[in-house]
Amino acid sequence: MSKRSLPKARTLEVKVSNEKLNHLKLLHLSDLHINKNFPDEILHELVFYCNSLDYDFTVITGDIIDCKVKNIKEKLAILNNLKGDVYFISGNHDLVYGLNDLKKELTNFIFMDNEIKKIEYKNEIIKLVGLSDRFSKFFGIKRDEKKILASIKESEPTIFISHQPKDYKLALNSNLFLCGHTHGGQIFPFHYLVKIVQPFLSGLHYVKDTAIYVNSGLGTWGIDMRYKAPSEITILELIHKSVE
């Protein structure tokens, strides 16, 4: 995303093997990288625009911030106006700049690091599980793979969220894995470098019975530009179909 404009939202159909997830719509955002230079008006526009869309809940897969929280409190407060339930898994930048401080400001968010939540949808229960980032152990957060993996049952409708695509193998008993981190490469030809360290660059993939969506994010890191790696606001509509 140019810091002066928002992308138009797109709706993408995602095949899932569990019929209890049929027609669930979720808003997937990632990697805003808000810093002191991020315009307030863009955040207001983002919230207003997202709130005009039709979906059941929001998932944000990490890296909301790119500076210390004390410098952007007013900007973060704007995000508390997103409608409905907003589930958030932290990314490496959130850890670096202060996850505990971020929690104090995003009071309407549900933080999912090593958490398991049950969501009611059409009189059924969907399980949402979140695994903290691979860097979390360096910031005093136990990355509890054993707990999260034990919670996933193949017969239960399950959505797995983490920051990095690298975690996809841990999610293969779930129906849907959501992540971000890559920025879709952000600036071509850095795509090729990302592909060396991550299994997926961006977009929708299927491995066995699990759908995988890698969000390219909204913000930027380092150089404030994107080239051949557009930002995105995406609604994923889950459709019960055979995953092949």
Complete domains list, the chain, with CATH: 10-240 (3.60.21.10)
Of the chain, the percentage scoring pLDDT greater than 90 comes to 80
Of the chain, the percentage scoring pLDDT greater than 70 comes to 95
Report yes or no: 235 and 9 within 8 Å, Cβ to Cβ: yes
Which of these, 41, 33, 35, lies nearest to 6 by C-alpha position? 41
What per-residue confidence (pLDDT) applies to 237? 99
Given a cut of 50, whether residue 171 has pLDDT beyond it is yes
- pLDDT band at residue 2, thresholds of 50, 70 and 90? very low
Q: What is the pTM of this model?
A: 0.94
Positive or negative, the CA dihedral 113, 55, 82, 53 is positive
Tens digits of residue pLDDT in 88-102? 999 999 999 999 999
The length of the chain in residues reads: 244
Region 193-204: what's the mean pLDDT?
A: 82
- pLDDT band at residue 187, thresholds of 50, 70 and 90? confident
What per-residue confidence (pLDDT) applies to 189? 79
Region 75-82: what's the mean pLDDT?
A: 99
Q: Which residues contact 41 (CB under 8 A, 6 or more apart)?
A: none
Q: Which residues pair with 236 in a beta bridge?
A: 12, 26
Report yes or no: 58 and 29 within 8 Å, Cβ to Cβ: yes
What per-residue confidence (pLDDT) applies to 4? 60
Structure tokens at 29: 């955002």
